Amino acid sequence: MQLNDLKRKILEIANAQYPRVALIEVEDNKIVSLSEYEIDDVIKALKELQDNNFIVNAISISVDQIVSFGHLEITSRGRNLLNS
């Protein structure tokens, strides 16, 4: 997987809190720690990283497309990708 700036920043945020989890905070329809990015782009990046097992527990999208955020936790696979 190619890491664009957004995905790299997400992994860096998660990695900085490792082995704890990073919190995903939403304020004014923006992710606080990623406020320079549109929320739809952040959701897409989180989903791709989670679907590829680089992070866990970050995002859940229900059948009716309701998005809920959780804790951002990097996996060993994500740490390897970030450090490569």
Looking up residue 39, the CATH number of its domain turns out to be 1.10.10.10
Structural domain tally of the chain?
1
Asked if the model's pLDDT at residue 22 lies above 70, the reply is yes
Q: Identify the pLDDT of residue 7.
A: 94
For 34-60, write each residue's pLDDT tens digit: 889 988 898 899 889 999 999 988 777
User: Which tokens in the block code for residue 37?
Assistant: 């990015």
Parent domain of 69: 5-83
Angstrom distance (rounded) from CA 14 to CA 28 = 22
Q: Identify the pLDDT of residue 20.
A: 86
Q: Identify the pLDDT of residue 68.
A: 65
DSSP per residue, 9-77:
HHHHHHHHHTTS-EE--EETTEEGGGTTS-HHHHHHHHHHHHHTTSEESSEEE-TT--EEE-EEEE-HH
Q: Identify the pLDDT of residue 65.
A: 60
